[in-house]
Structure 1
Amino acid sequence: MRILHLLASPFFSGPAENVALLARAQRDAGHEVTVAVDRRRKDVPAEEPAVPRFQELGLLDEGGLELSVKSPPWRMWSDSRRLRARQVDVVHSHFSHDHFLARWGRPRGAVLVRSLHAPRSLRSSLPAADAYTVPASALLPKLLERGKRARVLPALVDPRFRPEADRASLRRELGLTGGPLVGMVSTFQPSRRHVVGVEAFAKYRQQRPDARFVLVGDGGLLDVTRNQVKALGLTDAVVFAGYQQGADFARWLKALDEVWLLGLGNDWSARAAAQARACGVRVVAVDEGALPDLADARVAEPTPEAVVTAALSDVLSPVAHPTNARIAADVLALYADAAGGVRR
């Protein structure tokens, strides 16, 4: 099967990592897979650029698509013509710009699949496609009720996320002491509820006095959080690890006993929860996006008291997260089902 993923972003962030892992798993299953990304915006100093990463993975599409929301109309028209001339079996679009282009430039005989990565995309004016994916099971009924072909596309996990063989040594290397080690791994923004997390940790420490809180990330509310930690007298028990990515992020995650995920950003697949589970780290999470599917203990409501109750419950989920190969097989089955519908 010849598969072309469209990802109109110059950044290797948000859904990009999930798309890369899906494309790799599809390629490993014997299919011809490439990913087209935004080739217009080359200056992306604030984030990791997508082109080098997809190039390194051998997945970068070289079919001449500019695929940018910043493209002028004549370049979008050129993209549409180039796409229409492609010889592919599946066009899998991931952003609204991709889907607009694919709707008007769909290659003859190709199946069009649209991935929705956040609930805001699931609206009454949803553009037509042969099949859809959603990031969480809670969103699936809304498509099935409309008679759409749809499946959940869960978070895929890079192989670097696996249990640490010598966690004690890793913690020494990172300068971490005490225990249990509880963490939050997300951007410091209102939707992630660090204020709730810090207050919950203060209460949690009344029951676990040797506990330490590790906060990985950066963002606009970082100083607010630092001030809250100081005001609650938690300075010696809280570690601000800063922004981490790649192998460094994996190391910090592996060092934890438990991670608290108290809110989501733009990507509702809850990739951090899947990564934590793969590392053998317990997940305590609120009821948002795919978090309920991945949590060991669910937080009934986003309050400090509810977080502490869930954290102290010691509940572990018996449900294993699917492998990348299993997820890829499910998506390939969706393609085949959609292709059958197109032929009929």
Structure 2
Amino acid sequence: MTGDRSLRVLNLVANRWWTGSADPALRLTLGLRARGHHALLGLAPGDKFEAKAREAGVEPVEGLHLDVRSGPAAVLADLRRLRRLVREEALDVIHVHHSHDHWLGWWTHGGSALVRSYHNERAVRRGWPTSSLYRSSQALVAISRGVEERLIAAGAPARAVHRVGGVVDTARFAADSRGAAKIREEFHVASAPLIGCVARFAAGRGHEALLEGFRLLCRERPDARLLLVGKGERRQALEAAVKELGLEDSALFAGYRDTDLPAVLHALDIFVLLGAGSDESCRAALEAMAAGRPVVGARVGALPEVVVHGETGLLLERVSAEHVATALRRLLERPHEARAMGEAGHRRALGRFSPDSHARRFEEIYAAALASKQH
């Protein structure tokens, strides 16, 4: 709650897929509701984002298209629907997450405060007409220090810029998963040191450096195993790389995991993330921390703000095979240190990145945005 007042907030997300902005927007909606606010969620219907929202008990606002590819008729229909929603729901805040919904919010927010979240650096643009959106929004929220600096460099008013990290479903991932043993049994790694990475198989995600570093590690630790979790256009290329590096028996592809992802993370000894995806909060690292795993990470996206080097994991000075191997070797040689890092990461996830702490931070931003709107 903000003071003694419940807020009426619409999170508006021009996204239909379960990627990037989808999970943070859903977690924020749920967190706000848990804190007594009237929180609505508008999204592009017809795909996994809608299904995930309904599964979580959130019925999306009906009658919205929110499709960046839609024609003028759909855009006009969205404008009419949003104007009616602002009026009928007496919205205090419209919180947008992409350029398309930012423009829709700009046209329709009326007396509501307009807040925009930037989930990656690519979303920040310079020059007109974007500059008018910066000036007309009461709050601009960056996912990382890099996004924050880029916003200010692009001309966003510094007084309106805030930085809020990612959010993770701590209750789901922190639970002591009894499924970890089944995961190890599935991949025949009952007692082997198990290193894992959850990331889309795409360019820029660091899988090549991870495989090369893992090969170096295997010279000293042939018992180690690497679990690659995900899907994507580069899977065949990575399978070829595994074969070329002679890692067919030790680098394992787990496919895309959803319902049993917490069990997968609990089965690991070390989690590795070497590239940021469409959501630069690096949510996979947050999930691993919530599960109590030490994280080896690159200094990309929000990872330097998520992982505390030497306390909750290790941040690489450079993404290279040698640096990866050195970090993995250290944690395998010092299991007590690795376990302590995992426990510290778990505490950090609960304290800094839970839905409740995330919602509290946005309560402060909404209050500042509403105060700015009134002056």
Q: Does 1:154 align with 2:160?
A: no
Q: Quick one: structure 1 residues 63 and 239, their matched pair in 2 at CA, closer, same or farther if it must change by over 3 Å?
A: closer
What residue is the counterpart of 1:332 in the other structure? 363
CA shift at 1:71, angstroms?
2.4
CA, structure 1 residues 174+148, in 2 after alignment: closer, same or farther (shift >3 Å)? farther
Contact 1:161–1:279 (8 Å) recurs in 2: yes
Match of 2:18 among 12, 15, 20: 12
* In 1: Cα distance, 2:93 partner to 2:166 partner: 21
Alignment match of 2:271 (pick from 259, 271, 278): 259
What's 1:131 paired with? 139
Provide closer, same or farther for how the CA distance between residues 168 and 2 of structure 1 changes in structure 2, counting only shifts above 3 A. closer
CA distance in 2, matches of 1:325, 1:109: 27
The residue identity in structure 1 corresponding to 2:220 is: Q
C-alpha separation in 1, matches of 2:180 and 2:125:
48
Aligned counterpart, 1:180: 193
| 8 Å contact from structure 2 (residues 177, 266) kept in 1 | no
**Contact 1:156–1:324, Cα closer than 8 Å, also in 2:** yes
Select the residue among 204, 209, 230 that pairs with 1:191: 204
Contact 1:163 1:280 in 2 (8 A): no
- Cα-to-partner distance string for 1:128-187 (whole Å, 9 max, x where unaligned): 211011111333244467424233332211222125355763444433414321011111
- Partner amino acid, structure 2, of 1:151: H
Partner of 2:257: 244
CA contact (8 A) 1:283 1:294 kept: no
CA shift at 1:256, angstroms? 0.6
Name the aligned partner's letter for residue 53 of structure 1: K
* Contact 1:162/1:280 (8 A) holds in 2: yes
- The alignment-based identity, stated in percent, is 33
Say yes or no: does 1:33 pair with 2:39: yes
Deviations 1:250-278, CA, capped at 9 Å, x for gaps: 22122111111111221101000000000
Alpha-carbon separation, structure 1, partners of 2:199 and 2:141: 24
Distance 1:148 1:142 in 2: 14
Question: Contact conserved, 1:192 with 1:265, CA < 8 A, in 2?
Answer: yes
CA distance in 1, matches of 2:221, 2:76: 61
Aligned to 2:60: 61
Kindly provide the CA deviation profile for residues 271-291 of structure 1, in whole angstroms up to 9, marking residues without a partner as x. Answer: 000000000111101111011
Is 1:143–1:149's contact at 8 Å kept on the other side of the alignment? no
- Residue 331 of structure 1 deviates from its aligned partner by 0.8
Residue 142 to residue 233, structure 1, CA distance change in 2 (3 Å)? closer
Partners of 1:164 and 1:255 within 8 A in 2: no
Q: Residues 132 and 148 of structure 1 are in contact (CA less than 8 Å); yes or no, is this contact kept in structure 2?
A: no
Matched with 2:329 is: 312
Whether contact under 8 Å (1:36, 1:60) holds in the other structure is no
C-alpha distance in structure 2 between counterparts of 1:176 and 1:283, whole Å: 23
Query: Matched residues in 2 for 1:166 and 1:57: separation?
Result: 22
Candidates 187, 191, 209, aligned match of 2:222: 209
- Unpaired runs of 5+ residues, structure 1, are none
Cα distance change of structure 1 residues 181 and 163 upon mapping to structure 2, 3 Å threshold: farther
Distance 1:196 1:140 in 2: 28
Task: Say whether 1:232 aligns with 2:242.
Answer: no
Structure 2 residue ranges without an equivalent (≥5) = 1-6, 308-312, 332-336
2:83 alignment partner in structure 1: 84
| SS of structure 2 residue aligned to 1:14 | coil
* Bigger mean CA deviation after superposition, 22-31 or 202-211: 202-211
Q: Is the 8 A contact 1:116 1:133 kept in 2?
A: yes
Sort the Cα spacing of 1:224 and 1:163 in 2 relative to 1 into closer, same or farther, 3 A. Answer: same
Tell me how far apart the structure 1 counterparts of residues 27 and 288 of structure 2 sit (CA, whole Å): 17
Q: 1:3 aligns with which of 4, 9, 12?
A: 9
Instruction: Check the 8 A contact 1:7/1:16 in 2, yes or no.
Output: yes
Give aligned pairs, total: 335
- The CA distance in 1 between the partners of 2:328 and 2:91, in whole Å, is 48
**8 Å CA contact 1:156, 1:274 repeated in 2:** yes
The structure that is helix-richer by fraction is 2
Take 1:66 and 1:222, find their aligned partners in 2: how far apart are those partners?
A: 33
Aligned Cα RMSD in Å?
2.1
Cα distance in 2 for residues equivalent to 1:202 and 1:152: 38
- TM-superposed CA distance for 1:83, in Å, is 1.5
Conserved in 2, the CA contact under 8 Å of 1:182 and 1:258?
Answer: yes
Deviation digits for residues 214-266 of structure 1 (CA, Å, limit 9, x no counterpart) = 11112222122222222222211121111112x22222122111111111221
Partner-residue secondary structure (3-state), 2:20: coil
Confirm or deny that 1:292 pairs with 2:294: no
- Say which SS state the counterpart of residue 239 (structure 1) adopts: strand
User: Structure 1 length normalisation: TM-score?
Assistant: 0.90
Deviations 1:174-205, CA, capped at 9 Å, x for gaps: 33414321011111112112111111001112
Secondary structure of the structure 2 residue equivalent to 1:287: coil
